Amino acid sequence: MGSAPQPGSGVRASSTVDGDRAAGNRPASDRPVRPFLKWAGGKRQLLPVLREFYPPEFGAYHEPFLGSGAVFFDLASASRLDRGKVHLTDVNADLIGCWRRLRDKPEAVIRRLQALATGYERDPGEHYYRVRNDLFNPARGRIMNGNGPRAESYSAALAAMFIYLNRTGYNGLFRLNSSGWFNVPRGNYKNPRICDRVNLRRVSAMLSGLAATIEHAQFDTVLQTAHAGDFIYFDPPYAPLSATAQFTSYTADGFSAEDQRRLQQVVIELATRGCGVLLSNSTAPAIAALYDGNRDAERAGLRAYTVPARRAINSDASRRGHVDEYIVTNVAPQTT
């Protein structure tokens, strides 16, 4: 991507290529392993920019806001994670339960997911809401522990339903109502790819081969496992650009301004410790105050870069498009 980006400048992401189109007609075995979930704020389209800030060498890899794991899959497919441990964590217990079951019981998940895909083909609307209301939410309710389900109790059937609802629900959102029930409506898709058996098996094999730890945990637990020389990528729920743009459906509790401030302290601590850190977030004024010209962040060696990215989850199609985001890192950009 041209010359190295400068702090505060517009790092263009125009070279972004959709992963599916880039794969073309290559055999499935030759394609990179892809995220098996859609996720609000997923980073596949920003990967060409993020790659400029991967450290040339690092020890363990940590991703505390796992989501669809786009950066994890990008690094793993490039064999960048073969030398160190891999720690994947998220506060969303459903997400973690699904990742674990796919890793440990891929054939059971695939078998159930294929049956769900067949049902969807027959009657998309009726089938989606029956799975959501009559199967997924009740089964999830039976393993609840406080505000969420027990990730360790997630079954292959629940994991298959989670993937099914993610692939067929509106924009891949995960949203809970005030009672903690999943309530995302069906998306308007003609032929959604619900069960990609080849990719799902390769995801499972990759996770097992890397002996990746997949834990339900708060982001700050990375301080207990990260050491100097490790690489950590943070992709938190973004701070809203306006008072009416708050997106609070990541978990039942949302992600507050205080959480953003606590995250900044974690990022600073890790950078001071000698870790390579990379964080993406919105260019909201609250985030600018934390990283762009912030003295504590600068003393830790952190620099804020402005990059354009595609907004895809606004319900008003006219308000989708490109919007600036921050990349905050202590890693020098790699020139090509």
Helix (H) or strand (E) holding 327: strand 321-329
Q: What is the mean pLDDT of the chain?
A: 87
* pTM, rounded to two decimals: 0.87
All CATH 1.10.1020.10 domain ranges of the chain, comma separated, are 93-197
Cβ–Cβ < 8 Å for 13, 45? yes
pLDDT digits (tens, 9 = 90+) for 39-74: 987 788 899 999 999 999 999 999 999 999 999 999
Provide the percentage of residues in the chain whose pLDDT is more than 90: 74
Instruction: Dump pLDDT digits (tens) for 216-260.
Output: 999 999 999 999 999 999 999 998 886 544 444 434 457 899 999
Q: What is the pLDDT of residue 315?
A: 46
Q: What is the pLDDT of residues 136-149, one digit of tens each?
A: 999 999 999 988 89
Residue 322: which pLDDT band, with cuts at 50, 70 and 90? Answer: confident
**88 phi-psi bin (left φ>0, alpha ψ -120 to 50, beta other):** beta
Dihedral pair phi/psi, residue 183, rounded to 5°: -135, 25
- The neighbour count for residue 304, using CB atoms within 10 Å, is 22
In CATH, what number does 93-197 get?
1.10.1020.10
DSSP state of 62: E
Sheet arrangement for strand 231-234: 213-216, 86-90, 61-63, 231-234, 276-282, 321-329, 303-311
For the chain, give every residue range classified as CATH 3.40.50.150: 19-91+217-329
Closest CA to 265 of 294, 239, 305: 294
Could you name the CATH architecture of 19-91+217-329? 3-Layer(aba) Sandwich (3.40)
Q: Are 209 and 132 in contact (CB under 8 A)?
A: no
